[in-house]
Structure formats: C-alpha cells, structure tokens
C-alpha cells in the first residue's frame, strides 16, 4: 500500500495529536517494511526538523513552503489539491490526524480524538471552530474508516453521527519509554530544583493553558487547599494556549502569584523529573479523548487526582482519585485527601505504575496497521 499522512501536528512543539501521530509513525517505521509511507508537511516559515522524521524504508517526505492557513482552507473547504498530486503518485489510503479527510483518490481514514469542539464550542480553539464544526459531519460520512483513542469517543461518535460500530476502531495511545526508566537520582532531582527553582513539595499540572483544561477552576480549588490544608505551590508545565491571559488575570486577581509557577513547554526528559518530584499530579480537564499526562504521571510514581468525566476514568481506572471538574470545592477536597492520606497515596502510586504498563505505542501501531489493511481490503 501507498499511505499518505499529514504530519504537521508535530512540526513544532508536539502536544496531544502531535504526540500521537509522531509516536504512531515512529512505531510504524520500525514495524513495517512492506508498505510505502508518504509524509506531508507545510509551513511558510517553519521547516521540519530532520531528526523528527520517522525513518521509513519506502516512501517520500515533502516539506513545502506553503502557508498553513492556505493549506487548511484548500483542503478543508475545497478538497484540493489531492495529496496524490503532491507526491505525483496514486495513494491507496490517507490518514488524517483530524476529523477532516485528506483529499485523495484512495481510501480515507480520519482520527477523531474527541468532540470537545462540538460539546464546548465557546472553549474550543480557533482552528477547530473554523473548520471542524462545519466539516466533521460530511467528512465522517465520506471517510472509509474512523480511528479514535477511547471507547468514550467511539460511543459519542455513534450517538452524535449515527456511525456504525464496524466503521470505527479504538486504538489506545501509548507511553513514552522515558517514563518507565528508573527513578531519577538525588543529583538529578536537586539539579532540576536549582535549574527551575522548584519548591520542596508542589502540585503539578501538565498541559496547554487552554479553556478545556479548566485551569481557572483549578485556581479557585488551590485557594481552598491553602485555606484548609496548607500553602502548597502549583507548578504548571505546557505550551501557551488561548486561556493563558485569562489565567494570568485570575492569578493576579486572587493574589496567588507567589504560589503558581508557569514553566511553559518542556521536553520529556525534563518532564520525567517534574513528575517524580511532585507531591501529586492534578488534571482538572473538562474533556479528554484520552489524556496522555495521566499515563506519564502514573508511570512516574506520582498520585493522580483528576476529573471524573469523559475518557479520564476509562484511562486511569482505579489508579486515580476523581472529582467534579465544575466544582472547585470537590476538587480541593480530593486534592487534600490525596495529600494527607498516606495509605491512599501508596495505593494510587502502586496501581498507577501497574496500569501505565498496559499502554504501549507498539500495540497502537499494530492495531492501526491492521485497520489500514481492513479498510483497503488487504486484511
């Protein structure tokens, strides 16, 4: 098969979909020497780092100096140009990392991670509002197959769009092996504390400062923790998102600036240490199709306190303490319980480490390749 991909989600700082696609393709490159892989990227100013390109034995890679907005408009609105014409070959199948199909003569597969852009349109990012709200229904109807990353999203797709079960395949995401390494040494921990001015104990959040991550409610919960337990700092790690300015305004208005550290996007080798040094990991998101930071935290041996909605209970299972993300009182209560109760902490840490081992990128790639073959009639 000749298979085409849009790999722009991991052109720069990869989060969410970018992490998924990068790891999926890296594993496919390792496992599959039979099929041909055609990788497309485009940006007017950014060029793809060669070290990030999966090393497929057969195929092609094109990194074009085309404006991102122009590509999205042409593909999402007009369905042109076909990806086949970019590579000057007929593709048997394309796999889009978004709910909008990639134009091609061949079979079309899309990945739908979640439907946040439909459930919370006012809090979705601009790209999702511009293209996904109007284009998803038609795209899912035309697509030959749909991949998703949790049973939660699969159920939502069936309920909202009437898709048949056999059109959808769930492939859980995997865990970066760096989080399975042995515990950071005392020297590594001390070096990280000095480099980033980390406090001796802190709560940790990992994710973009986007509305869906619900950080404004987390600020209210943090104040309650300070009032009822003790003044423990909160460290936020992740790229700047659309809610960043609102977050800063709330921190100033509630006078908690000295207790909130915003470190921005950090690579995995640093994140590994941030997780291990934390007192607890807090994940207050309103909606997740999966929630990769849950896996990273569990594998790192930090107790997890998370939203009990959408796919998060499915992924964390009994290895997290769940709260209502719309209720700062409940959030604060669960955070304090995990900080205070040593037996609960030990139980969550043990269960988390065990559960994280169930999620492997190799399995994601194997199941995805099987789906490619099934959709193309080559199973």
Query: What is the full per-residue pLDDT of the chain (379 aa) written as tens digits?
Result: 999 999 888 877 677 888 999 999 999 999 999 999 999 988 898 888 888 888 899 999 998 888 888 888 888 888 889 999 999 999 999 999 999 999 999 999 999 999 988 888 888 777 777 778 888 999 999 999 999 999 999 999 999 999 999 999 999 999 998 888 777 788 888 888 888 888 999 999 999 999 999 999 999 999 999 999 999 999 999 999 999 999 999 999 999 999 999 999 998 889 999 999 999 999 999 999 999 999 999 999 999 999 999 999 999 999 999 999 999 999 999 999 999 999 999 999 999 999 999 999 999 999 999 999 999 988 6
Q: In what helix (H) or strand (E) does residue 47 lie, and over which residues does it extend?
A: none
Q: Which sequence spans correspond to the domains of the chain?
A: 2-174+360-375, 177-356
Which tokens sit at 49? Answer: 């780092």
CA atoms within 13 A on the CB side of 228: 17
Q: Report helix, strand or coil for 168.
A: strand
Q: What is the pLDDT of residue 69?
A: 85
Q: What is the pLDDT of residue 289?
A: 95
Q: In what helix (H) or strand (E) does residue 77 lie, and over which residues does it extend?
A: none
Q: What is the pLDDT of residue 223?
A: 97
| Beta-sheet strands, E only, within the chain | 2-6, 36-42, 59-64, 93-96, 107-112, 145-148, 168-170, 203-206, 234-237, 260-264, 280-283, 304-307, 320-323
Q: What is the pLDDT of residue 76?
A: 83
Q: 234: closest CA among 249, 246, 224?
A: 224
Q: What is the pLDDT of residue 203?
A: 98
Measure the CA–CA gap between 157 and 153, rounded to whole angstroms: 6
Q: Which fold has domain 2-174+360-375?
A: Rossmann fold (3.40.50)
pTM value is 0.92
Q: Which fold has domain 177-356?
A: Rossmann fold (3.40.50)
Q: What is the pLDDT of residue 48?
A: 82
Give the number of other CB atoms < 10 A from CB of residue 367. 14
Q: What is the pLDDT of residue 266?
A: 92
Tell me which DSSP letter residue 176 carries: -
SS3 of 279-311: CEEEECCCCCCCCHHHHHHHHCCCCEEEECCCC
| Beta-sheet strands, E only, within 66-175 | 93-96, 107-112, 145-148, 168-170
Q: What is the pLDDT of residue 134?
A: 81
Q: What is the pLDDT of residue 80?
A: 86
The 3-state DSSP composition of the chain as helix, strand, coil percent (nearest 5) reads: 50, 15, 35
């Amino acid at each position: 098969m000749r298979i085409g991909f849009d790999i722009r989600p991991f052109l720069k700082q990869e989060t969410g979909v970018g992490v998924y696609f990068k790891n999926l393709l890296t594993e496919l490159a390792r496992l599959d020497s039979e099929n041909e892989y055609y990788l497309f990227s485009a940006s007017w100013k950014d060029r793809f780092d060669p070290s990030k390109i999966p090393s497929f034995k057969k195929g092609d890679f094109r990194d074009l100096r085309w404006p991102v907005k122009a590509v999205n408009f042409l593909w999402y609105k007009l369905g042109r140009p076909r990806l086949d014409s970019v590579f000057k070959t007929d593709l048997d199948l394309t796999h889009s990392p978004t709910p909008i199909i990639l134009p091609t003569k061949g079979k079309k597969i899309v990945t739908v991670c979640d439907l946040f852009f439909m459930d919370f349109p006012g809090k979705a990012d601009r790209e999702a509002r511009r293209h996904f709200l109007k284009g998803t229904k038609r795209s899912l109807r035309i697509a030959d197959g749909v991949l998703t990353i949790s049973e939660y999203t699969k159920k939502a797709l069936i309920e909202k769009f009437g898709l048949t079960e056999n059109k959808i395949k769930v492939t859980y995401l995997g865990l970066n092996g760096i989080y399975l390494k042995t515990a950071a040494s005392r020297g590594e921990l001390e070096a990280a504390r000095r480099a980033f001015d980390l406090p001796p104990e802190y709560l940790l959040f990992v994710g973009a400062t986007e509305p869906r991550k619900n950080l404004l409610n987390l600020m209210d919960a943090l104040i309650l923790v300070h009032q009822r337990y003790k003044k423990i700092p909160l460290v936020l790690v992740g790229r700047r998102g659309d809610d960043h300015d609102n977050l800063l305004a709330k921190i100033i208005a509630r006078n908690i600036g000295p207790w909130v550290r915003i470190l921005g996007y950090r690579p995995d080798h640093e994140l590994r240490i941030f997780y291990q040094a934390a007192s607890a990991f807090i994940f207050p998101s309103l909606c997740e199709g999966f929630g990769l930071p849950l896996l990273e935290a569990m594998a790192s041996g930090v107790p997890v306190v998370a939203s009990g909605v959408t796919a998060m209970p499915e992924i964390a299972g009994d290895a997290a303490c769940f709260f209502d993300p719309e209720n700062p009182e409940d959030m604060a209560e669960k955070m304090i319980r995990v900080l205070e109760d040593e037996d609960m902490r030990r139980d969550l840490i043990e269960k988390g480490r065990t559960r994280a081992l169930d999620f492997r990128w190799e399995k994601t790639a194997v199941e995805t390749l099987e789906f490619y073959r099934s959709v193309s009639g080559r199973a």
